[in-house]
Structure 1
Amino acid sequence: MHNTLNDHVALVTGASSGIGRAIALALSRAGAKVVVGARRAERLDALVAEAPGEMLAVTLDVTDPDSATAAVAAAVERFGRLDSLVNNAGLMLAGPVVGADITEWVRMIETNLLGSMYAAHAALPHLIESRGAIVQVSSTSGRIASAGNAAYAASKFGINAFSEALRQEVTARGVRVTVIEPGFVATELTSHITDPVMREMAAGIQQSMRTLTADDIANVVVFALGQPDHVAVNQILVRPADQVQ
């Protein structure tokens, strides 16, 4: 891939594995300076060692607004600016509503929805200054809810709603907001599921199709961020060719 983001400064949340890790490496290959945030510091250190370009690791818990603020501050202190925020941190704990462990609902809302909101809030003053961009990694579950995924879908629908309202607020100030809605991606996300029936179902669905890879989504992020300033790619829905819904 040709360098398209030379000297661009990006902060990627949830960068210790899966899609976030792939996004961080793809941005680095494209010439960006990348700040990677997650709770698993040892994985971030390994990521920094692998990156082809300059990369900074910061311990980040997106459910803590102070942690989000500190991560943004570390990025600006190191590189002098912030050009994009990629809100990727996420958690999927599928299961039926009846008999649900509602602490799992809280974890998903805090991580998927509030976490992205906290990070956006912290980053926005700097993104307005740089006329930068926010990329929100949502899901096909952000537009089509399904049985067994009520709380997860609620968190992703929330991301989509927040992102559209934010877009309307900041587009005139030069900040672009992009929502990316991946379908089935081969990552460790489904391993978070504690309900054995739902975990087995998710595994079966993945085995039934040619799933997307984390790199597929990373390439979409690079595409969106690499557009000229006058081009806003606001929403990208990307499914495996074999996925029906």
Structure 2
Amino acid sequence: MKNKVAYITGGTKGIGLGIAEVLHKHGITVAISGRDQNDAVQVAKQLSTQETPVFGIGSDVKNFEDEKNAIAKIIKKFGKIDYVIANAGLGVFKPVDELAIEEWSSMIDTNLTGIFHTLKASVEELKKSEGYFITISSLAGTNFFENGSGYNASKFGAVGFTQAAMLDLRKYNIKVSTIMPGSVSTYFNGNLPSEKDAWKIQPEDIGQLIVDIFNMNPRTLPSKIEIRPLKPKG
């Protein structure tokens, strides 16, 4: 994997940062994006080593032009893209009658349309590299819950989109998978990670899972993967 280039959206914190850290440790050249250019550049500097650089890019996945520009910058700097991990996401949890139009649109535009933008912007490069496209969805993409109407809709959509894209793109030898984590120790939804989250999946666990997927025999395709804590908090 040391000659590979990966792009991770939402890579400045949480699951995206955990993935970036693990891929970087395995010698993969990593580009991360976030909505704040300065934040993305600063995090990239902290992760970079002399042997393996990390490239920070400002991009809002809700904006297709941002993602086109992000891909163009990566190609200009590294010449190719082998792995794309569409991780950027957000959640607002309210009863459906209290959910604002803007909150609904923000989740759909980020968690679902953002994935389409990332794939649309990168797919021609992935055809060249016969690469891998991974979406980070959620168990909320198959299990609905109270106060989750908008989030459930976006994640159910993300799973369906990824599975259909997998069927469309495997003829180009592009692998497409969706990963559906349960409870992860991140700052998501206002959580403050601490020792109380030790029972949860850790962001680096998702990174290790992705490395394991990359190392699988090329003839195999784990198209949909659910991952959950071994022992949920009682």
Pairwise CA distance, 1:84: 1.1
Aligned to 2:163: 164
Pairwise CA distance, 1:23: 0.7
Matches within 5 A, 1:124-203: 124-191=123-190
SS in 2 for 1:217: helix
Matching of residue 241 in structure 1 with residue 230 in structure 2: yes
Runs of 4+ in 1 over 4 A off after TM superposition: 206-209
Structure 1 stretch 82-91 or stretch 207-216: which is displaced more?
A: 207-216
The answer (yes or no) to whether the contact 2:21–2:204 under 8 Å persists in 1 is: no
Aligned to 2:8: 12
Deviations 1:83-142 (A, max 9, x none): 111000000111110122121010000010000110001100010111001010000000
SS in 1 for 2:70: helix
Using a 3 Å threshold, how does the CA distance of structure 1 residues 211 and 225 change in structure 2: closer, same or farther?
Answer: same
Q: For 1:145 and 1:235, how far apart are their aligned partners in 2?
A: 18
Matching of residue 24 in structure 1 with residue 43 in structure 2: no
Q: Which runs of 5+ in 1 are unaligned?
A: 192-201
The answer (yes or no) to whether the contact 1:209–1:243 under 8 Å persists in 2 is: no
TM-score using structure 2 length = 0.92
Matching of residue 47 in structure 1 with residue 23 in structure 2: no
The answer (yes or no) to whether the contact 1:16–1:40 under 8 Å persists in 2 is: no
Matching of residue 88 in structure 1 with residue 87 in structure 2: yes
The answer (yes or no) to whether the contact 1:178–1:224 under 8 Å persists in 2 is: no
Aligned to 1:106: 105
Q: For 1:32 and 1:209, how far apart are their aligned partners in 2?
A: 28
Q: For 2:218 and 2:46, how far apart are their aligned partners in 1?
A: 30
Pairwise CA distance, 1:143: 0.7
CA RMSD of aligned residues (A): 1.8
Aligned residues: 228
TM-score using structure 1 length = 0.88
Aligned-pair identity (%): 27
Deviations 1:30-83 (A, max 9, x none): 111111111123332332223242111111110000000101111111111111
Q: For 1:17 and 1:41, how far apart are their aligned partners in 2?
A: 14
2:205 to 209, 216, 229: 216
Matching of residue 64 in structure 1 with residue 60 in structure 2: no
Using a 3 Å threshold, how does the CA distance of structure 1 residues 209 and 11 change in structure 2: closer, same or farther?
Answer: closer
Pairwise CA distance, 1:211: 1.1
Deviations 1:195-223 (A, max 9, x none): xxxxxxx89xx958811111111111221
Aligned to 1:199: none
The answer (yes or no) to whether the contact 2:81–2:129 under 8 Å persists in 1 is: yes
The answer (yes or no) to whether the contact 2:41–2:57 under 8 Å persists in 1 is: no
